[in-house]
């Protein structure tokens, strides 16, 4: 009986607030280990909301929702973002999700960066019947739960693995050596899960990972690992690392003067603005993946990047922030088409989402959800470090440069 | 008669609390979180407070409880709560295994040993495929039967937690009044003196540690049932151990209601400060949270309960 009362009380939500705004709850790690990523994503979403609410003349030519004046399909409602800090713990993420749903009466939730926190936070949204749009959590099981209110815009680990495999196949065909592959990964969730997906996919595609080194991202010395690599001397080296360890590996490899023919880094640490700024010049020719590709001047990512760079005072959109921004644009589009903040109508609109590649700010082929809520058009671009900046080299349609091998380093 | 008045009033208040906040889900949940925190801290209190053996590795038991619950679901398909007794039994065995060698250490050395064991288990759990590795394991996403304890409201959890807490506090009270309680306090004051009077210090410390471990494990299982997910950090992370210690110390370690008082202050403080300040993204939450802990520690070093029972504390000293 108590539960029924709470149900009744919790689900009575105003279609629109008095002042004609629609609230979106955003859960990100704004403190703790991943606070940097969370705060960059926060700024990216603020850029998105600003474009929808106040418009941008250049973007309006490419995206219907960038004309300004809010959501035309929803009585010109302006979007209000309500941010909450998940503090890096699954419990805080779930508690905040409940607060945003029942106290702030948000129309939908976006979040929550770490896969484990997305799992607990979206479970609450599912029970309350509120749409949850995820922009960046890659754990496979998130879309295997039979949820009806969960929508994931980001590509998952398997998509990354395929992108690397395709890239290596092309290099093999071009005559580069790819027989001896080494995988070096940090030993928490991110490194372990992405690492094992890459190994599985490579096996299927006929590549063998001969050397696999797991290490702790907190370690202050990686000489033993680099010496081991030097001894095995692989043709291809793949890193799955966070920031401080990426810096350490880059410096140690230079000190010990060893480099492979092809070096690939799975995003994260090697994409961190802090890494790119200080050590970009030391990893010339590094292959990376990204959801962000600045693309050609005047394209959607290019225009969004300009607004974002102005807001952050110099930092460009990166893989994480662009995926958050893309998730926001998907939700804004669905709200506009739903013409209502009623959960069921919004859910139906999300299911019917079909955004074309030209409107993407992230490097996806579009957005269209399958029955499980996974974006089937999610994809990654392959990038290469050139003169302190990543340029897109694959797929062909988005490439702004040709690949140059072997890896040059410092 | 008088000494049952305050606990009795507290119990009545606790029983009607969910009715008072019926249409405020956040506060229903807050009540449940306070009780869950109080269970963990009260369990720690048996060995850390009464016996004075400051364990900073109780997350080991918490994690065992949480993982037991999720493992019986993942590998056997049982409702997670069925893992609770298994977790408790394993924790008693584990407490014996850890306690026999480490409880011989005194003071800081015992604390350090418990930290080491805690971190060791955390690292091991992140490499175990059976436990879901670093990715962790999730409980039933969609409830199959009522035994999966998946409710829209936190109120059912509130009453389950309340029942467990009452049982735990009653047990602690019984120990406190009995022979074992006197032994434990004697050990806390001076283990050497206690031994010279014929107290088998080692044995009673171990009993306290095992009982404490069992209830900490139960807290972990209940946590899993409510949140539905555990990974090495949220199960075995050192912050979980530290929170138990801080809660008990803040309220009054070695006193029956100390941990409950600590939980009543800390849990709402943590939740409300995050709700009010967290969205600003400046980490302000932790500054405010930390400052309040420092202020209480500075002015009430024996815990908040010392405000009420100064006489009692001096006598115990």
Give me the pLDDT at residue A1, please. Answer: 35
What DSSP element (H or E) covers A287?
strand A287-290
- Residue B22, pLDDT > 70, answer yes
B66-83: pLDDT as tens digits: 999 999 999 999 999 999
Rounded-to-integer distance, Cα A251 and Cα A256, Å: 9
| Beta carbons of A2 and B153 less than 8 Å apart | yes
* A394 compared with B61, residue with greater pLDDT: B61
How much is the average pLDDT of A313-336? 94
How much is the average pLDDT of B268-296? 83
Residues A41, A320 contacting (CB under 8 angstroms): yes
Which chain B residues are within 8 Å of A39, Cβ to Cβ? 281
Give me the pLDDT at residue A7, please. Answer: 43
Rounded-to-integer distance, Cα A106 and Cα A335, Å: 12
B150 contact A CB<8A: yes
Cα dihedral B14, B18, B24, B27 sign:
positive
Give me the pLDDT at residue A314, please. Answer: 87
By CA distance, what is A138's nearest residue in B? Answer: B135
B73-114: pLDDT as tens digits: 999 999 999 999 999 999 999 999 999 999 999 889 999 999
Kindly indicate the confidence band of residue A15, based on its pLDDT and cuts at 50, 70 and 90: low
Which chain A residues are within 8 Å of B286, Cβ to Cβ? 31
How much is the average pLDDT of A12-32? 80
* A4 compared with A247, residue with greater pLDDT: A247
How much is the average pLDDT of B209-215? 97
How much is the average pLDDT of B154-182? 96
* B7 compared with A282, residue with greater pLDDT: A282
Token pair 């900073």 is at which residue? B56
* A91 compared with A9, residue with greater pLDDT: A91
Read off the DSSP letter of residue A409.
B
Give me the pLDDT at residue A10, please. Answer: 43
Walk me through the domains of chain A, giving residue ranges and CATH numbers: 2-155+296-378 (3.40.50.2300), 158-290+382-394 (3.40.50.2300)
CA distance A108 to chain B (A): 16
Nearest in space to B260 (alpha carbons), one of B9, B16, B36: B36
Reported ipTM: 0.91
* A45 compared with B273, residue with greater pLDDT: A45
Kindly indicate the confidence band of residue A66, based on its pLDDT and cuts at 50, 70 and 90: very high
| Beta carbons of A99 and B275 less than 8 Å apart | yes
- Chain-wide mean pLDDT for chain B? 91
Give me the pLDDT at residue A234, please. Answer: 95
Strands (E) across A292-399 are located at 355-356, 366-367, 381-386, 389-394
Determine phi and psi for A71, rounding to 5 degrees: -100, 105
Token pair 């955390």 is at which residue? B122
A104-155: pLDDT as tens digits: 999 999 999 988 899 999 999 999 999 999 999 988 889 999 999 999 999 9
The answer as to CATH 1.10.1060 being correct for domain B2-316 is no
pTM: 0.88
- Residue A33, pLDDT > 80, answer no
B287-314: pLDDT as tens digits: 887 888 888 888 887 888 887 765 444 4
By CA distance, what is B137's nearest residue in A? Answer: A116
How much is the average pLDDT of A299-328? 93
Which chain A residues are within 8 Å of B25, Cβ to Cβ? 6, 9-10, 98, 102
Residue A98 has its nearest CB partner, among B23, B29, B142, at B29
Q: How long a stretch of residues is chain A?
A: 410
- Residue A8, pLDDT > 60, answer no
B276 is written with which tokens?
């009010």
Helix/strand/coil (H/E/C) assignment for every residue in chain B = CHHHHHHHHHHHHHHHHHHHCCCCHHHHHHHHHHHHHHHHHHHHHHHHHHCCCCCCCCHHHHHHHHHHHHHHHHHHCCCHHHHHHHHHHHHHHHHHHHHHHHCCCCCHHHHHHHHHHHHHHHHHHCCCCCCCHHHCEECCCCCCCHHHCCCCCCHHHHHHHHHHHHHHHHHHHHHHHCHHHHHHHHHHHCHHHHHHCCCCHHHHHHHHHHHHHHHHHHHHHHHHHHHCEECHHHHHCHHHHHHHHHHHHHHCCCCCCHHHHHHHHHHHHHHHHHHHHHHHCCCHHHHHHHHHHHHHHHHCCCCHHHHCCHHHHHHHC
Q: How long a stretch of residues is chain B?
A: 317
């Amino acid at each position: 009986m108590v539960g029924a009362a709470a149900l009744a009380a919790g689900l009575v939500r105003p279609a629109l607030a008095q002042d004609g705004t629609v609230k979106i709850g955003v859960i990100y790690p704004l403190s703790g280990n991943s606070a940097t990523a969370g705060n960059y994503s926060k700024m990216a979403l603020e850029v998105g909301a600003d474009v929808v609410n106040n418009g941008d003349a250049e973007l309006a030519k490419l995206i219907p929702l960038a004309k300004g004046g809010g959501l035309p399909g929803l009585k010109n409602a302006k979007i209000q973002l309500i941010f909450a800090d998940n503090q890096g713990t699954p419990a805080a993420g779930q508690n905040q999700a409940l607060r945003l749903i029942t106290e702030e009466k948000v129309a939908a939730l976006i979040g929550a960066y770490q896969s484990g926190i997305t799992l607990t936070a979206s479970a609450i949204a599912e029970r309350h019947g509120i749409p949850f749009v995820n922009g960046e959590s890659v754990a496979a099981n998130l879309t295997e739960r039979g949820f009806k209110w969960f929508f994931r815009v980001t590509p998952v680990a398997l998509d990354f693995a395929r992108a690397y495999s395709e890239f290596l196949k092309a290099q093999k065909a071009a005559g580069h050596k790819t027989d001896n592959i080494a995988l070096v990964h940090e030993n928490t969730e991110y490194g372990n899960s992405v690492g094992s997906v890459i190994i599985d996919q490579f096996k299927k595609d006929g590549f063998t990972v001969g050397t696999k080194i797991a290490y702790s991202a907190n370690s202050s010395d990686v000489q033993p690992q680099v010496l081991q690599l030097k001894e095995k001397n692989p043709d291809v080296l793949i890193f799955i690392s966070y920031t401080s360890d990426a810096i350490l590996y880059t410096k140690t490899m230079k000190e010990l003067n060893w480099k492979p023919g092809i070096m690939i880094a799975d995003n994260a640490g090697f994409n961190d603005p802090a890494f790119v700024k200080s050590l970009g010049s030391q990893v010339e020719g590094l292959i990376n993946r990204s959801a962000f590709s600045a693309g050609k001047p005047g394209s959607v990512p290019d225009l969004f990047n300009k607004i974002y760079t102005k807001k952050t005072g110099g930092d460009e959109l990166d893989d994480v922030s662009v995926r958050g921004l893309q998730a926001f644009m998907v939700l804004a589009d669905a709200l506009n088409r739903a013409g209502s903040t009623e959960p069921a109508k919004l859910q139906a609109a999300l299911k019917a989402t079909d955004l074309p590649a030209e409107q993407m700010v992230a490097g996806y082929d579009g957005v269209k959800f399958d029955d499980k809520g996974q974006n089937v058009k999610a994809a990654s671009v392959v990038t290469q470090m050139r003169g302190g900046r990543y340029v897109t080299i694959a797929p062909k349609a988005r490439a702004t440069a040709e690949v140059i091998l072997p890896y040059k380093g410092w | 008669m008088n000494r049952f008045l305050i606990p009795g009033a507290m119990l009545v208040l606790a029983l009607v609390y969910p009715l008072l906040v019926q249409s405020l889900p956040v506060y229903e949940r807050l009540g449940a979180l306070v009780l869950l925190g109080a269970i963990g801290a009260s369990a720690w209190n048996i060995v850390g407070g009464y016996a004075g053996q400051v364990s900073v590795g109780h997350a080991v038991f918490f994690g065992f409880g949480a993982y037991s619950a999720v493992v019986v679901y993942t590998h056997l398909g049982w409702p997670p709560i069925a893992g609770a007794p298994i977790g408790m039994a394993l924790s008693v065995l584990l407490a014996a295994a850890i306690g026999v060698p480490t409880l011989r250490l005194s003071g800081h050395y015992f604390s350090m040993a418990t930290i080491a064991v805690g971190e060791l288990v955390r690292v091991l759990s992140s490499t175990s495929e059976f436990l879901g590795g670093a990715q962790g394991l999730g409980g039933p996403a969609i409830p199959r039967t009522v035994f999966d304890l998946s409710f829209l409201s936190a109120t059912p959890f509130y009453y389950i937690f309340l029942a467990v807490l009452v049982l735990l506090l009653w047990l602690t009270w019984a120990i406190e009044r009995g022979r074992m309680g006197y032994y434990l306090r004697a050990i806390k004051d001076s283990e050497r003196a206690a031994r010279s009077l014929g107290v088998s210090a080692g044995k009673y410390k171990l009993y306290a540690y095992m009982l404490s471990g069992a209830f900490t494990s139960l807290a972990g299982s209940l946590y899993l049932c409510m949140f539905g997910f555990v990974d090495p950090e949220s199960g075995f992370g050192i912050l979980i151990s530290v929170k138990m210690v801080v809660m008990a110390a803040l309220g009054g370690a070695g006193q029956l209601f100390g941990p409950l008082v600590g939980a009543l202050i800390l849990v709402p403080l943590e939740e409300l400060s995050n709700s009010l300040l967290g969205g600003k993204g400046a980490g302000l939450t932790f500054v405010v949270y930390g400052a309040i802990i420092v202020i209480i520690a500075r002015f009430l070093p024996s815990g908040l309960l010392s405000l009420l029972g100064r006489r009692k504390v001096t006598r115990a000293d």
